[in-house]
Amino acid sequence: MRRAALTPNPIPSLGLGLRREFLDQVLTELPAVAQWEIAPENWMGRGNLAEYQLDYLRDHYPISSHGLSLSIGSQDPLDEAFLLRLKAFLDRFSINRYSEHLSYCSVGGHLYDLLPIPFTEAAAEHVIARVRRVQEIIERPLVLENISYYASAATELDELSFIKRILQGADCELLLDVNNVYVNSINQGYDPHQFICELPSSRLTYGHIAGHHEEAPDLLIDTHGAGVKPAVVELLQLAQQVHGPFAVVLERDFNIPPLGELLNELYELDQQLQPLGEALHGN
């Protein structure tokens, strides 16, 4: 590995998911990272220290936000009080990008984890109406991410049609998580290349890449707990070839290595992706 040559020059194109495990080190050393992605639900209501930390981070990097508890696909009422608080939070720290998962995490109260929305027309209509309402309240685009899932609740529509139906119906943007595509393609048995190629380029504004765990040959778990697999990097390369370059964030939420190691992985990924990005820019 050419680790010594991996120091980014000047700034990598990849962002990184921020974790408290290495937050102090980030704020002290200010490593080269394109942007940090934070989960607002982990920062709102967390007292003065969190506020000072975020202010300091904001002074040195772009920040984007990636929510966890919106539950856009739930039948529980939309939590508008939360959305107003969220808007105030995003305004307070000048965070423009707010992405969330095309999923639900509450039914009669929160479950705090992401479940797959039954892929039906009626559910899509429900989501569309709620996305519009969210965008109205937060006065920002809502960027929706394709989630990983381990079983389908309903297949009236296939996953791709369901996603496209919502992007178009709600007029919103897509966060493409290529690891989720890979995990789902194994778990659900579909062709990840075809899935990626058929996404609408104009809606794809942002991406995620992460590692997964193989529980069984036909059951991968989206743990964000390991390095990114080469097959997943290839999917990202394909996505950028087909749809043009877009900002990408590396997610790591479990088995978090020392920051230096994580940054090396980031810079390495960056080198694998950057020539492509440059070529595309040149066209």
Partner 1 sequence: MATNKPSPDWRELQQQWAAAIRAPNQGSLPGVEPRRLAVYQRLVFNNIDSFISRGFPVLRQLHNEQQWQQLIYQFMQQHAAQSPLFADIGREFVAFAQQTLPAVWAQLAQYERMEVDALYAEVDYQLLHATNAAAEPAPSANELLDRVQFRVNPSVQLGVFQYPVQQVSAANPQPPAAAEPVCLVVYRELTSQPHWQQHEAVKFMQLTPLTMVLLETLQQANGSTLRAALASLQPYAVGYQPEQLAQALVTVVEGLMQRCVLFLAPE
Query: Which residues bind to partner 1, rule: CB under 8 A?
Result: 24, 27-28, 41-42, 44-50, 52-53, 55-56, 68-71, 74-75, 79, 82, 104, 106-113, 115, 117-118, 120-123, 126, 150-151, 153-154, 156-157, 187, 215-216, 219, 221
Q: Quote the Cα angle for 215-221-223, to 5°.
A: 120
CB of 269 to Fe ion, least distance (A): 15
Q: Does 212 bind Fe ion (CB under 5 A)?
A: no
Of 97 and 208, the one with the shorter C-beta distance to Fe ion is 208
Residue 208 binding: pick among partner 1, Fe ion, none (C-beta 5-8 Å cut-off by kind): Fe ion
Nearer to partner 1, 11 or 107 (CB): 107
Q: How far is the CB of 111 from partner 1 (least distance, A)?
A: 5
Q: Which residue in the set 177, 265, 268, 270 belongs to the binding site for Fe ion (CB under 5 A)? A: 177
If the CB atoms of residues 26 and 248 are measured against partner 1, the closer one turns out to be: 26
CB of 270 to partner 1, least distance (A): 27
Partner touching 126 among partner 1, Fe ion, none, CB below 5 to 8 Å by kind = partner 1
Residue 37 makes contact with Fe ion by CB under 5 A? no
Q: Smallest gap, in angstroms, from Cβ of residue 5 to Fe ion? A: 29
Q: How far apart are CA 170 and CA 141, in angstroms?
A: 10
Closest contact distance (angstroms) between CB of 105 and partner 1 is: 9
Helices 178-188 + 230-243 axis angle, to 10: 110
Q: Residues near 129 by Cβ (< 8 Å), separated by ≥ 6?
A: none
Which residues of this chain interact with Fe ion, rule CB under 5 A? 177, 208
